[in-house]
Amino acid sequence: MSGRHASSEVAVRVRRLEERLIAAGLTSDEQLDGIIGQVLSGSPANGARVVARAWVDPAFRERLQADANAALVELGLSMSAGPQPQRFTVLPNTAERHHVLVCTLCSCYPIALLGPSPSWYKSEAYRARVVREPRAVLEEFGLVLPADTEIVVHDTSAESRHMVLPLRPAGTDGLGEPELATLVTREGLIGTAAV
């Protein structure tokens, strides 16, 4: 299948599943709409808010690194996905160490903070290559790191999600949280870009 036909077939299957769940009394259209709205509102802007706060508030940054799940609550965010919250860690980049994320098994990803995952994140090529040759993959994204910068690849899972805390860009000392948040990209939160 390809094109519109594939999309409409998937939509039909999804709707059938939704109808079965509703008929079984497990959910309602309103609950499903709420979940979809919540997922779609989870954009890179949420992760960017977390990063901007960590850049301007050293105490928040410490709490974020000690217990990211608890620190998120301070900003009205959560990594809850069902009955049990996912373990969430924030990985701070430094001049000596750069973090990058991957899910080698499928495409586990912190949607609530980064929004829907990019298609390349789910690709088999990215998942296989970033583990074997992270420096080359990052260079393909346009991120050239000094040779002495260690690159650490973190594998996400259904139980454990991560987000990169990029280095604060030079020359941004006079900016407040809202302005800083606009500098943060989804790729920066994954680790395939500087910010």
Q: Is the pLDDT of residue 42 over 80?
A: no
Q: What is the C-alpha separation between 190 and 186, in angstroms, rounded?
A: 6
- From 28, 41, 80, 106, active-site residue: 106
Q: Is the pLDDT of residue 161 over 80?
A: yes
For 8, residues 6+ apart whose C-beta sits below 8 A from its C-beta are none
Query: Quick check: is 2 catalytic?
Result: no
Query: Quick check: is 160 catalytic?
Result: no
Q: Is the pLDDT of residue 140 over 90?
A: yes
Q: Band of the pLDDT at 12, cuts 50, 70, 90?
A: confident
Domains detected in the chain: 3-38 (no CATH), 42-190 (3.90.330.10)
Q: What are phi and psi of 129, to 5 degrees?
A: -75, -35
- From 43, 107, 157, 160, active-site residue: 107
For 47, residues 6+ apart whose C-beta sits below 8 A from its C-beta are 110, 113, 114, 163, 184, 186, 189
Q: Is the pLDDT of residue 5 over 80?
A: no
Q: Band of the pLDDT at 2, cuts 50, 70, 90?
A: very low
Query: Quick check: is 123 catalytic?
Result: no
Beta carbons of 90 and 68 less than 8 angstroms apart: yes
Record the pTM: 0.78
Tokens at 167, concatenated: 């280095």
Q: Each residue of 61-82: pLDDT tens digit?
A: 999 999 999 999 999 998 875 5
